[in-house]
Amino acid sequence: MKAPRFAYARPASLAEALALLAEHKGDARVLAGGQSLVPMMNFRLATPKVLVDINRIAALAGIKVAKNHVRIGALTRHVEIERSADVARHLPLIASAMPHIAHPAIRNRGTFGGSCALADPAAELPACALALGASFVVAGKKGERRVAAEDFFKGLYATALKSGELLVAAEFPLAKPGYASAFGELARRHGDYAMVGVAAHGSAQGKKFSDLRVVFFGVGDRPQRAAQFERALDGQPAAAKTIDAGLQKLNADLDPRADLHGSAATKLHLAKVLAGRVLRKMEGVAA
Ligand SMILES: Cc1cc2nc3c(=O)[nH]c(=O)nc-3n(C[C@H](O)[C@H](O)[C@H](O)COP(=O)(O)OP(=O)(O)OC[C@H]3O[C@@H](n4cnc5c(N)ncnc54)[C@H](O)[C@@H]3O)c2cc1C
């Protein structure tokens, strides 16, 4: 199938893009890398009347290290993030997640902003944004606002973006000294969306866990922090046995639904196995 007819606009500036989105309201859809939107249109799961192609807006692309944060522009391609020395140095969690996102051809076109705005519950970047405490920079006709990752992902393919708004960037706070992160996912084939994934960030310094943010993806309708698991580990020895003892708390934190990959019980089991593996990989954790 091919997409139904649609109008196409290619603005050269953010202001122009916002004006187009305001003019066409719910009829318009932003086109970034097109790796998700175009197939959805071809399957007629999405039928926008107007596509606002943001690929010419250079100000939306790029990675910048500032005094307190790393800013990733919405239009930054996955491949650029994957190869960025700044990301490898300051955001190693994201660097380890990138090779798991789809395949090279998709990473060449797909964008950071497209992935976060789509909010697929099994996607890697939304989970990393939540684990790292990122803020999303959102622009609308009235100006810019910042939305914490906690408040950005609202549910299945749902975000805090309102009609007429555009995701401009995300800002990731620079990690405190000694903080570490670890990432892992289980997928049927490398590059597929995750059956279950874990993105973790925090401190295992001074032989104790503290300030952990453990985020699961692929097990709910959005990326999800495991609050009880985090609390069970907080202040405890940074050791494999602490992790194992805390894993039971995931029964309370997670409520996975059965999907194509397996039953709810299977997904919960996989989440526990993966969390055990991922947390053990964190720098500073004793075997
Ligand atoms: C075979 C296949 C496998 C894949 N596997 C994975 C995977 O394992 N993990 C994963 O995370 N992703 C995966 N993807 C998706 C891929 O990462 C996409 O690139 C990404 O989800 C969407 O990015 P995009 O730039 O292509 O966005 P588009 O397809 O252009 O847009 C996606 C949605 O986001 C909106 N949007 C885009 N940019 C903005 C913006 N700046 N502001 C507001 N709204 C915006 C669009 O309107 C649309 O609704 C896969 C895709 C395919 C086809």
pLDDT of residue 32: 98
CA of 159 to the centre of ligand 1 (A): 14
How does the average pLDDT of the chain come out, rounded? 96
pLDDT of residue 176: 93
What are the tens digits of pLDDT across the range 13-58?
A: 999 999 999 999 889 999 999 999 999 999 999 999 999 999 999 9
pLDDT of residue 89: 97
Amino acid at 148: A
- Kindly list the protein residues whose Cβ atom lies closer than 6 A to any atom of ligand 1: 29-37, 39, 54, 74, 101-102, 106, 110-111, 113-115, 117-118, 120, 123-125, 161, 166-167, 192-193
Q: Give the residue-averaged pLDDT of 211-228.
A: 97
CA of 34 to the centre of ligand 1 (A): 7
pLDDT of residue 261: 84
DSSP string, the chain: --PPP-EEE--SSHHHHHHHHHHHGGGEEEESS-TTHHHHHHTTS---SEEEE-TT-GGG--EEE-SSEEEEETT-BHHHHHH-HHHHHH-HHHHHHGGGSS-HHHHHH-BHHHHHHHT-TT-HHHHHHHHTT-EEEEEETTEEEEEEHHHHEEETTEESPPTT-EEEEEEEEPPPTTEEEEEEEE-SSTTSPPSEEEEEEEE-GGGB-EEEEEEEESSSSS-EE-HHHHHHHTTSBSBHHHHHHHGGGHHHH--PPPBTTB-HHHHHHHHHHHHHHHHHHSTT-B-
pLDDT of residue 248: 97
Question: Percent of the chain scored above 90 by pLDDT?
Answer: 92
CA of 113 to the centre of ligand 1 (A): 8
pLDDT band, very low/low/confident/very high, at 260 (cuts 50, 70, 90) = confident
pLDDT of residue 275: 98
Of 27, 37, 77, 183, best ligand 1 pocket probe by most atoms within 8 Å of the beta carbon:
37
Write the residue with the smallest CA distance to atom 20 of ligand 1. Answer: 115
User: Would you say residue 97 has pLDDT above 80?
Assistant: yes
Q: Give the residue-averaged pLDDT of 181-209.
A: 94
CA of 117 to the centre of ligand 1 (A): 8
Q: What is the CB neighbour count within 10 angstroms for residue 73?
A: 22
Residue found by looking up tokens 């985020």 in the block: 215
